[in-house]
Amino acid sequence: MKIVVTGGLGFIGSHTVVELQNKGFEVIAIDNLSNSSIEVLDGIERITGKKPTFENIDLREKAAVQNFFKKHTDISGVIHFAASKAVGESVENPLLYYENNINALVYVLQEITQLENSNFIFSSSCTVYGQAEVMPITENASVQPAMSPYGNTKQIGEEIITDVAKVTKMNSILLRYFNPIGAHASGEIGELPLGVPQNLVPFITQTAFGLRKELSVYGNDYPTSDGTAVRDYIHVVDLAKAHVIAMQRLLNNKNIDKVETFNLGTGTGSSVLEVIHSFEKVSGQKLNYKIVGRREGDITEAYANTDKANTILGWKANLSLDESLASAWKWEQKIRS
Protein backbone atom coordinates (compact mmCIF):
# COMPACT_ATOMS: atom_id res chain seq x y z
CA MET A 1 0.00 0.00 0.00
CA LYS A 2 1.22 3.48 -0.93
CA ILE A 3 1.22 6.18 1.75
CA VAL A 4 2.12 9.81 1.12
CA VAL A 5 3.93 11.64 3.92
CA THR A 6 4.01 15.42 3.44
CA GLY A 7 6.86 17.04 5.33
CA GLY A 8 8.37 13.57 5.06
CA LEU A 9 11.96 14.75 5.51
CA GLY A 10 11.15 16.76 8.62
CA PHE A 11 11.70 15.79 12.25
CA ILE A 12 8.52 13.81 12.92
CA GLY A 13 7.88 13.07 9.24
CA SER A 14 11.19 11.25 8.71
CA HIS A 15 10.71 9.10 11.80
CA THR A 16 7.20 8.23 10.58
CA VAL A 17 8.55 7.27 7.14
CA VAL A 18 10.89 4.81 8.89
CA GLU A 19 8.09 3.25 10.91
CA LEU A 20 5.81 3.01 7.83
CA GLN A 21 8.57 1.24 5.90
CA ASN A 22 9.17 -1.06 8.87
CA LYS A 23 5.54 -2.12 8.53
CA GLY A 24 5.91 -2.79 4.81
CA PHE A 25 4.25 0.32 3.41
CA GLU A 26 5.50 1.92 0.20
CA VAL A 27 6.16 5.57 1.06
CA ILE A 28 6.28 8.73 -1.03
CA ALA A 29 7.85 11.57 0.94
CA ILE A 30 6.94 15.08 -0.15
CA ASP A 31 9.01 17.99 1.14
CA ASN A 32 10.00 21.47 -0.08
CA LEU A 33 13.21 21.30 2.00
CA SER A 34 12.42 24.66 3.63
CA ASN A 35 13.07 23.19 7.08
CA SER A 36 14.80 19.88 6.31
CA SER A 37 17.62 18.50 4.18
CA ILE A 38 17.82 15.99 1.34
CA GLU A 39 20.44 13.99 3.29
CA VAL A 40 17.60 12.80 5.55
CA LEU A 41 16.67 10.42 2.68
CA ASP A 42 20.04 8.69 3.08
CA GLY A 43 19.57 8.46 6.83
CA ILE A 44 16.20 6.76 6.32
CA GLU A 45 17.77 4.34 3.83
CA ARG A 46 20.59 3.50 6.25
CA ILE A 47 17.97 2.54 8.84
CA THR A 48 15.47 0.61 6.71
CA GLY A 49 17.49 -0.31 3.63
CA LYS A 50 14.86 1.39 1.48
CA LYS A 51 14.99 4.93 0.17
CA PRO A 52 11.44 6.32 -0.03
CA THR A 53 10.31 7.91 -3.26
CA PHE A 54 10.90 11.64 -2.82
CA GLU A 55 9.17 14.56 -4.52
CA ASN A 56 10.35 18.11 -3.90
CA ILE A 57 7.00 19.89 -3.96
CA ASP A 58 5.90 23.14 -2.34
CA LEU A 59 2.31 22.40 -1.33
CA ARG A 60 1.52 26.12 -1.56
CA GLU A 61 1.68 25.67 -5.35
CA LYS A 62 -1.82 24.42 -6.18
CA ALA A 63 -0.87 23.21 -9.66
CA ALA A 64 2.05 21.22 -8.27
CA VAL A 65 -0.25 19.50 -5.78
CA GLN A 66 -2.77 18.73 -8.55
CA ASN A 67 -0.06 17.30 -10.80
CA PHE A 68 1.28 15.10 -8.02
CA PHE A 69 -2.10 13.52 -7.32
CA LYS A 70 -2.80 13.12 -11.06
CA LYS A 71 0.41 11.10 -11.25
CA HIS A 72 -0.31 8.98 -8.16
CA THR A 73 -3.89 7.74 -8.29
CA ASP A 74 -3.20 4.57 -6.26
CA ILE A 75 -2.59 6.27 -2.93
CA SER A 76 -4.13 4.59 0.15
CA GLY A 77 -3.56 7.39 2.63
CA VAL A 78 -1.87 10.68 3.40
CA ILE A 79 -0.12 11.76 6.60
CA HIS A 80 0.17 15.55 6.59
CA PHE A 81 3.09 17.00 8.55
CA ALA A 82 4.10 19.78 6.14
CA ALA A 83 3.65 23.05 8.04
CA SER A 84 5.61 25.83 9.68
CA LYS A 85 5.77 25.30 13.43
CA ALA A 86 7.70 28.04 15.22
CA VAL A 87 5.33 29.81 17.61
CA GLY A 88 7.38 33.01 17.88
CA GLU A 89 7.92 33.27 14.12
CA SER A 90 4.17 32.87 13.58
CA VAL A 91 3.53 35.96 15.70
CA GLU A 92 6.04 37.99 13.62
CA ASN A 93 4.90 36.60 10.26
CA PRO A 94 1.29 35.36 10.47
CA LEU A 95 0.64 35.37 6.72
CA LEU A 96 3.53 32.96 6.15
CA TYR A 97 1.79 30.61 8.59
CA TYR A 98 -1.72 31.01 7.15
CA GLU A 99 -0.43 30.46 3.62
CA ASN A 100 1.80 27.50 4.45
CA ASN A 101 -0.35 25.79 7.05
CA ILE A 102 -3.82 26.48 5.63
CA ASN A 103 -3.54 26.94 1.84
CA ALA A 104 -1.37 23.84 1.51
CA LEU A 105 -3.80 21.81 3.64
CA VAL A 106 -6.73 22.92 1.46
CA TYR A 107 -4.93 22.00 -1.78
CA VAL A 108 -4.06 18.55 -0.43
CA LEU A 109 -7.61 17.96 0.79
CA GLN A 110 -9.05 19.06 -2.57
CA GLU A 111 -7.05 16.26 -4.22
CA ILE A 112 -7.39 13.43 -1.75
CA THR A 113 -11.15 13.80 -1.49
CA GLN A 114 -11.24 12.80 -5.18
CA LEU A 115 -9.44 9.52 -4.45
CA GLU A 116 -11.13 6.14 -4.02
CA ASN A 117 -9.48 5.78 -0.58
CA SER A 118 -9.12 9.04 1.26
CA ASN A 119 -7.57 8.33 4.64
CA PHE A 120 -6.01 11.43 6.17
CA ILE A 121 -3.89 11.74 9.30
CA PHE A 122 -3.37 15.33 10.48
CA SER A 123 -0.46 16.53 12.56
CA SER A 124 -2.08 18.67 15.24
CA SER A 125 -0.86 19.91 18.58
CA CYS A 126 -1.76 20.18 22.26
CA THR A 127 -1.34 23.89 21.70
CA VAL A 128 -5.04 23.91 20.75
CA TYR A 129 -5.86 23.46 24.45
CA GLY A 130 -4.01 26.60 25.54
CA GLN A 131 -3.72 26.43 29.33
CA ALA A 132 -6.25 23.66 30.03
CA GLU A 133 -8.02 23.90 33.38
CA VAL A 134 -7.75 20.19 34.26
CA MET A 135 -4.64 17.97 34.20
CA PRO A 136 -4.05 15.51 32.63
CA ILE A 137 -5.68 16.88 29.46
CA THR A 138 -8.34 14.78 27.73
CA GLU A 139 -9.51 15.15 24.12
CA ASN A 140 -12.74 16.66 25.43
CA ALA A 141 -10.90 19.57 27.00
CA SER A 142 -12.14 22.77 25.44
CA VAL A 143 -10.17 24.24 22.58
CA GLN A 144 -9.07 27.66 23.82
CA PRO A 145 -8.58 30.80 21.72
CA ALA A 146 -5.21 30.27 20.10
CA MET A 147 -2.20 31.88 21.77
CA SER A 148 -0.41 32.29 18.42
CA PRO A 149 -1.09 32.22 14.68
CA TYR A 150 0.71 28.86 14.65
CA GLY A 151 -1.73 27.44 17.19
CA ASN A 152 -4.61 29.04 15.28
CA THR A 153 -3.58 27.25 12.08
CA LYS A 154 -3.84 23.93 13.93
CA GLN A 155 -7.30 24.79 15.22
CA ILE A 156 -8.46 26.00 11.81
CA GLY A 157 -6.93 22.92 10.19
CA GLU A 158 -8.92 20.63 12.46
CA GLU A 159 -12.12 22.56 11.67
CA ILE A 160 -11.50 22.39 7.91
CA ILE A 161 -10.93 18.63 8.08
CA THR A 162 -14.08 18.14 10.14
CA ASP A 163 -16.18 20.14 7.64
CA VAL A 164 -14.70 18.28 4.65
CA ALA A 165 -15.14 14.83 6.20
CA LYS A 166 -18.84 15.53 6.71
CA VAL A 167 -19.49 15.83 2.96
CA THR A 168 -16.88 13.55 1.39
CA LYS A 169 -15.69 9.95 1.60
CA MET A 170 -12.66 11.09 3.59
CA ASN A 171 -11.91 9.54 6.98
CA SER A 172 -9.46 11.35 9.21
CA ILE A 173 -7.61 11.13 12.49
CA LEU A 174 -6.33 14.26 14.24
CA LEU A 175 -3.23 13.58 16.34
CA ARG A 176 -2.57 16.22 19.00
CA TYR A 177 1.10 15.98 19.94
CA PHE A 178 2.47 17.14 23.23
CA ASN A 179 6.21 17.83 23.17
CA PRO A 180 8.11 15.64 20.68
CA ILE A 181 11.80 15.15 21.54
CA GLY A 182 14.65 12.72 20.94
CA ALA A 183 15.95 10.93 17.86
CA HIS A 184 16.04 7.48 16.27
CA ALA A 185 18.24 5.10 18.33
CA SER A 186 20.47 4.51 15.27
CA GLY A 187 21.62 8.14 15.32
CA GLU A 188 20.84 8.31 11.58
CA ILE A 189 17.94 10.78 11.78
CA GLY A 190 16.84 13.37 14.31
CA GLU A 191 15.86 16.99 14.81
CA LEU A 192 17.70 19.55 12.64
CA PRO A 193 16.60 22.93 14.03
CA LEU A 194 17.61 25.80 11.76
CA GLY A 195 19.30 28.71 13.55
CA VAL A 196 18.85 29.27 17.27
CA PRO A 197 16.57 26.51 18.63
CA GLN A 198 13.28 27.75 20.08
CA ASN A 199 12.52 24.43 21.75
CA LEU A 200 14.01 23.29 25.05
CA VAL A 201 15.70 20.00 24.18
CA PRO A 202 17.69 21.05 21.09
CA PHE A 203 18.81 24.12 23.03
CA ILE A 204 19.97 21.84 25.86
CA THR A 205 21.93 19.52 23.56
CA GLN A 206 23.52 22.44 21.69
CA THR A 207 24.51 24.04 25.01
CA ALA A 208 25.98 20.75 26.22
CA PHE A 209 27.94 20.48 22.97
CA GLY A 210 29.30 24.01 23.44
CA LEU A 211 27.40 25.62 20.57
CA ARG A 212 25.42 27.83 23.00
CA LYS A 213 26.89 29.54 26.04
CA GLU A 214 24.10 28.62 28.43
CA LEU A 215 20.44 27.67 28.56
CA SER A 216 18.00 30.31 29.77
CA VAL A 217 15.29 28.72 31.89
CA TYR A 218 12.19 30.79 31.22
CA GLY A 219 10.80 31.37 34.67
CA ASN A 220 10.87 29.53 38.00
CA ASP A 221 7.86 31.27 39.54
CA TYR A 222 5.19 28.98 38.10
CA PRO A 223 2.84 27.19 40.51
CA THR A 224 4.59 23.84 39.98
CA SER A 225 6.70 21.51 42.13
CA ASP A 226 9.94 23.39 41.45
CA GLY A 227 8.58 26.61 39.93
CA THR A 228 9.48 25.74 36.34
CA ALA A 229 6.89 24.95 33.68
CA VAL A 230 5.70 21.40 33.07
CA ARG A 231 5.29 19.64 29.71
CA ASP A 232 4.72 16.11 28.42
CA TYR A 233 7.88 15.14 26.52
CA ILE A 234 7.26 12.26 24.14
CA HIS A 235 9.93 10.36 22.21
CA VAL A 236 9.60 11.05 18.49
CA VAL A 237 9.78 7.30 17.69
CA ASP A 238 6.81 6.59 19.98
CA LEU A 239 5.02 9.42 18.22
CA ALA A 240 5.89 8.04 14.77
CA LYS A 241 4.57 4.60 15.68
CA ALA A 242 1.25 6.16 16.69
CA HIS A 243 0.90 7.53 13.14
CA VAL A 244 1.29 4.08 11.62
CA ILE A 245 -1.28 2.63 14.02
CA ALA A 246 -3.68 5.48 13.24
CA MET A 247 -3.27 4.97 9.49
CA GLN A 248 -3.82 1.21 9.87
CA ARG A 249 -7.00 1.98 11.84
CA LEU A 250 -8.36 3.94 8.88
CA LEU A 251 -7.14 1.48 6.25
CA ASN A 252 -8.88 -1.35 8.11
CA ASN A 253 -12.06 0.74 8.53
CA LYS A 254 -11.83 0.43 12.29
CA ASN A 255 -12.60 4.11 12.94
CA ILE A 256 -15.92 4.74 14.65
CA ASP A 257 -16.32 8.35 13.49
CA LYS A 258 -15.26 9.99 10.26
CA VAL A 259 -12.97 12.26 12.29
CA GLU A 260 -11.32 10.95 15.45
CA THR A 261 -9.00 12.86 17.78
CA PHE A 262 -6.21 11.45 19.97
CA ASN A 263 -3.78 13.07 22.39
CA LEU A 264 -0.27 11.72 21.94
CA GLY A 265 1.83 12.08 25.05
CA THR A 266 3.37 9.94 27.76
CA GLY A 267 0.78 10.98 30.34
CA THR A 268 3.56 12.27 32.59
CA GLY A 269 4.52 15.90 33.10
CA SER A 270 8.15 16.95 33.55
CA SER A 271 9.37 20.36 34.65
CA VAL A 272 12.18 22.19 32.88
CA LEU A 273 14.51 21.52 35.82
CA GLU A 274 13.57 17.82 35.78
CA VAL A 275 14.49 17.70 32.09
CA ILE A 276 17.80 19.40 32.83
CA HIS A 277 18.59 16.96 35.65
CA SER A 278 17.61 13.99 33.51
CA PHE A 279 19.88 15.26 30.73
CA GLU A 280 22.79 15.73 33.15
CA LYS A 281 22.29 12.18 34.38
CA VAL A 282 22.17 10.51 30.94
CA SER A 283 24.93 12.66 29.41
CA GLY A 284 27.21 12.72 32.46
CA GLN A 285 27.60 16.43 31.77
CA LYS A 286 26.78 19.43 33.94
CA LEU A 287 24.55 21.80 31.98
CA ASN A 288 25.19 25.54 31.99
CA TYR A 289 21.90 27.30 32.67
CA LYS A 290 20.46 30.38 34.34
CA ILE A 291 16.96 31.26 35.46
CA VAL A 292 15.48 34.26 33.62
CA GLY A 293 11.99 35.71 33.29
CA ARG A 294 9.04 33.87 31.80
CA ARG A 295 8.68 33.63 27.99
CA GLU A 296 5.68 35.50 26.58
CA GLY A 297 2.82 33.12 25.79
CA ASP A 298 4.12 30.12 27.76
CA ILE A 299 1.62 28.13 29.81
CA THR A 300 2.26 26.65 33.25
CA GLU A 301 1.62 23.02 32.53
CA ALA A 302 0.35 20.58 29.91
CA TYR A 303 0.42 16.81 30.00
CA ALA A 304 -1.81 14.28 28.30
CA ASN A 305 -4.52 11.98 29.49
CA THR A 306 -3.58 9.05 27.23
CA ASP A 307 -6.49 6.72 28.08
CA LYS A 308 -8.19 7.18 24.70
CA ALA A 309 -5.03 6.54 22.69
CA ASN A 310 -4.17 3.55 24.91
CA THR A 311 -7.59 1.90 24.81
CA ILE A 312 -9.12 2.90 21.46
CA LEU A 313 -6.05 3.46 19.29
CA GLY A 314 -4.19 0.65 21.04
CA TRP A 315 -1.02 2.72 21.33
CA LYS A 316 1.13 3.65 24.33
CA ALA A 317 4.36 5.61 24.63
CA ASN A 318 7.11 3.26 25.80
CA LEU A 319 10.26 5.35 25.87
CA SER A 320 11.20 7.29 29.00
CA LEU A 321 12.39 10.87 29.41
CA ASP A 322 15.91 9.56 30.07
CA GLU A 323 15.87 7.48 26.87
CA SER A 324 14.52 10.41 24.88
CA LEU A 325 17.22 12.75 26.14
CA ALA A 326 19.96 10.16 25.68
CA SER A 327 18.90 9.73 22.03
CA ALA A 328 18.80 13.51 21.52
CA TRP A 329 22.32 13.80 22.96
CA LYS A 330 23.61 10.92 20.77
CA TRP A 331 22.16 12.67 17.72
CA GLU A 332 23.66 16.07 18.64
CA GLN A 333 27.09 14.49 18.96
CA LYS A 334 26.65 12.59 15.69
CA ILE A 335 25.72 15.64 13.59
CA ARG A 336 28.58 17.68 15.03
CA SER A 337 31.18 14.96 14.47
Q: Which residues from 74-93 bind ligand WQD, rule CB under 6 A?
A: 85, 87
- Exactly one of 15, 80, 231, 243 binds ligand WQD (CB under 6 A); that residue is 231
Q: Is 272 in the site for ligand WQD (CB under 6 A)?
A: yes
Please identify which of the residues 97, 150, 177, 233 carries the catalytic annotation. Answer: 150
In whole angstroms, the minimum distance from the beta carbon of 98 to ligand WQD comes to 16
In angstroms, the CA 255 to CA 172 distance is 9
In whole angstroms, the minimum distance from the beta carbon of 75 to ligand WQD comes to 25
Q: Is 27 in the site for ligand WQD (CB under 6 A)?
A: no
176 versus 241: smaller Cβ distance to ligand WQD: 176
Q: Is 300 in the site for ligand WQD (CB under 6 A)?
A: no
10 versus 52: smaller Cβ distance to ligand WQD: 10
Q: Can you tell me whether residue 320 is helix, strand or coil?
A: coil
Residue 258 neighbours by CB distance under 10 Å: 16
Q: Which amino acid is at 322?
A: D
Q: How far is CA 284 from CA 134, 220, 322, in A?
A: 36, 24, 12
Q: How far apart are the first and last CA of the chain?
A: 37
4 versus 273: smaller Cβ distance to ligand WQD: 273
25 versus 203: smaller Cβ distance to ligand WQD: 203
Q: Give the residue among 266, 257, 279, 278 at the shortest CA–CA distance from 305.
A: 266
- State yes or no: is 150 an active-site residue: yes
168 versus 199: smaller Cβ distance to ligand WQD: 199
Q: Is 229 in the site for ligand WQD (CB under 6 A)?
A: yes
The DSSP-derived string for 53-94 is EEE---TT-HHHHHHHHHH---EEEEEE--S---HHHHHH-H
- Exactly one of 72, 258, 295, 316 binds ligand WQD (CB under 6 A); that residue is 295
Q: Is 35 in the site for ligand WQD (CB under 6 A)?
A: no
In angstroms, the CA 271 to CA 224 distance is 8
Site string for ligand WQD, 193-212 (x = CB under 6 A): -----xxx--x---------
Segments in 72-215 forming alpha helices (H): 87-92, 94-98, 104-112, 149-166, 200-209
Q: Is 217 in the site for ligand WQD (CB under 6 A)?
A: yes
In angstroms, the CA 200 to CA 208 distance is 12
| CA 32 to the chain's CA centroid | 17
Q: Is 125 in the site for ligand WQD (CB under 6 A)?
A: yes
In whole angstroms, the minimum distance from the beta carbon of 10 to ligand WQD comes to 11
Cβ atoms of 229 and 302 within 8 Å: the answer is no
Which residue numbers are catalytic? 150
Residues that bind ligand WQD (CB under 6 A): 85, 87, 125, 127, 177, 179, 198-200, 203, 215-218, 229, 231, 272, 295, 298
